[in-house]
Amino acid sequence: MTLDIGTAAKPRTMRLRADATRNRERMVDAARETIVEFGPDFPLDEVARRAGVGNATLYRHFTDRTELIRQVALSVMARTAQRAEDALVEEPDAFSALQRFVFEAADERVGALCPMLSSAFDRAEPVVEQGRRRMENAITAIMDRAQCSGQLRGDIAVGDLMVALTQLTRPLPGTGCVGFDRFVRRHLQLFLDGLRAPARSTLEGTAATLEDLQGCQ
């Protein structure tokens, strides 16, 4: 509904105050990190704490947790799609584009999108659907190019990449493991090596798309 945020009903047409805008951005960022770490049931107070604002400010900007998740999802999808589009255009080598995208997506914390698989989240909403489609198209384009050039194995799809990416970059819950990030990039690289053509094995099951993931709710 943020097509025009408050929509017709509310006088949100007026510009937010400078500090309000700044805080709003901080809160979405903080929410992204918190979701990645805690999963869909993240505590809202933790988001406020990380954003450096009072919890009341959080509730003032987002009516409820669903609305906050929605904003995070839109933000992450848009930024990730942009990264993918940039990588596709700017990288001369097809597999390099894929690699670049994977590492950048990790930085963007695509894992924050996992609440989208929750039943509480309305994926069918036009704006969300549109964001997902843009992201999926961009990633598919990267993968297609790499597959056509014979550098990426052909038996995988977007869902395989995104789920593994989410899983490998997810922090261990409860443990504030500081040195952990140092290993994540290694594991992503190892996974990427496994994606290269020629395939070194035969995969069981079928390639996963993003729809497949949503379908299993």
Binding interface with DNA (CB under 7 A): 16-20, 23, 42-46, 52-57, 59-61, 64-65
Is there a contact between 181 and 136 (Cβ–Cβ < 8 Å)?
Answer: no
Angle between helix 126-148 and 158-169 (nearest 10): 100
Residue 216 binds a second copy (CB under 8 A): yes
- Distance linking the first and last C-alpha atoms of the chain: 24
Nearest approach in angstroms of CB 121 to a second copy is 10
Residue 107 binds a second copy (CB under 8 A): no
Find which of DNA, a second copy, none residue 217 binds, CB within 5 to 8 Å per kind. Answer: a second copy
C-alpha–C-alpha distance, residues 60 and 20, integer Å: 10
Phi then psi for residue 118, to 5 deg, are: -70, 150
C-alpha–C-alpha distance, residues 129 and 125, integer Å: 6
Residue 186 binds a second copy (CB under 8 A): yes
Q: Which is nearer to a second copy, 131 or 159 (CB)?
A: 159
> Which parts of this chain interact with a second copy (CB under 8 A)?
38-41, 114-115, 117-119, 156, 159-160, 163-164, 166-168, 170, 172-180, 182-183, 185-187, 189-196, 199-201, 203-205, 208, 212-213, 215-217
